[in-house]
Amino acid sequence: TTNIQSILDQLGVKANNAAFSTGSSWGGDANAESLESFSPVDGKLIASTKVATTGDYQQVIETAQVAFADWRTVPAPKRGDIVRQFGDALRANKEALGTLVSYEMGKSLQEGFGEVQEMIDICDFAVGLSRQLYGLTMHSERPNHRMYEQWHPLGIVGIISAFNFPVAVWSWNAALALVCGNVCIWKPSEKTPLTAVACQHIIAQVLKENEVAEGVCSLILGDRTVGEVMTNDSRVPLISATGSTRMGKEVAATVGARLGKTLLELGGNNAIIISEHADLDMSLIGAVFGAVGTAGQRCTSTRRLIIQESVYDVFKEKLVKAYDQLRIGDPLDQNNHVGPLIDKDAVTAYLDSIQKCKTEGGNFVVEGGVLTGDHYSSGYYVKPCIAEVKNDFKIVQHETFAPILYLIKYKTLDEAIALQNGVPQGLSSAIMTLNLREAELFLSAKGSDCGIANVNIGTSGAEIGGAFGGEKETGGGRESGSDAWRAYMRRQTNTINYSNTLPLAQGIKFDL
Ligand code: UN1
**Contacts of residue 134, Cβ cutoff 8 Å, sequence gap at least 6:** none
State residue 16's pLDDT score: 86
Q: What is the pLDDT at residue 1?
A: 53
* First-to-last C-alpha distance (Å) of the chain: 85
- Rounded to whole angstroms, the Cα distance separating 4 from 9 reads 9
What ipTM is given for this predicted complex?
0.97
Instruction: Kindly give the distance from the C-alpha atom of residue 507 to the centroid of ligand 1, in angstroms, as a whole number.
Output: 52
Q: Which of 422, 404, 390, 408 is nearest to 323 (CA)?
A: 404
Determine contact, residues 267/450, Cβ cutoff 8 Å: no
pLDDT at position 311: 98
Is residue 136 scored above 70 in pLDDT? yes
Share of the chain above pLDDT 70, in %: 100
Residue 60 near residue 214 (C-beta atoms within 8 A): no
Residue 338 is classified by DSSP as B
Instruction: Please say if the pLDDT value at position 368 is more than 90.
Output: yes
DSSP 16-72: SS--EESSS-EE--TTSPEEEEE-TTT--EEEEEEPPPHHHHHHHHHHHHHHHHHHT
Q: Distance between CA atoms of 195 and 167, rounded to whole angstroms?
A: 7
Q: What is the pLDDT of residues 272-293, one digit of tens each?
A: 999 999 999 999 999 999 999 9
Does the structure show a pLDDT above 80 at 356?
Answer: yes
Element (H, E) at 101: helix 94-105
Provide the pLDDT for residue 262: 98
**Measured between alpha carbons, how far is 388 from 406 in angstroms, rounded to an integer?**
6
Q: What is the pLDDT of residues 11-34, one digit of tens each?
A: 999 888 899 999 999 999 999 999
Taking the CA of residue 297 as reference, the ligand 1 atom at the shortest distance is: 2
Measured between alpha carbons, how far is residue 318 from residues 7, 146, 285, 287, 429 in Å? 40, 64, 10, 11, 21
pLDDT band at 406 (very low <50, low <70, confident <90, very high): very high
- Report the residue among 117, 191, 245, 298 best suited for mutation to probe ligand 1: largest number of ligand atoms under 8 A from its CB: 298
Rounded distance from Cα 175 to ligand 1 centre (Å): 17
Tell me whether residue 324 is exposed, middle or buried, using C-beta atoms within 10 angstroms of its C-beta: 0 to 12, 13 to 18, 19 or more: exposed
265, 399, 473, 479: which one is catalytic? 265
Q: What are phi and psi of 64, to 5 degrees?
A: -65, -40
Q: Give the pocket of ligand 1 (CB within 6 Å).
A: 118, 164-165, 169, 242, 298-300, 460-462
User: Rounded to whole angstroms, what are the CA distances from 435 to 231, 282, 318, 413, 446?
Assistant: 47, 15, 22, 12, 17
CA of 70 to the centre of ligand 1 (A): 33
Which of 242, 266, 468, when mutated, tests ligand 1's pocket best, judged by the most ligand atoms within 8 Å of its CB?
468
473 is catalytic: no
| Phi, then psi, of 239 in degrees rounded to 5 | -110, 120
- The percent of residues in the chain predicted with pLDDT above 90, rounded, is 98
**Distance, CA of 274 to CA of 82 (rounded, Å):** 45
**What amino acid is encoded at 407 in this protein?**
L
> Using one digit for the tens of pLDDT, what is the confidence trace for 73-100?
999 999 999 999 999 999 999 999 999 9
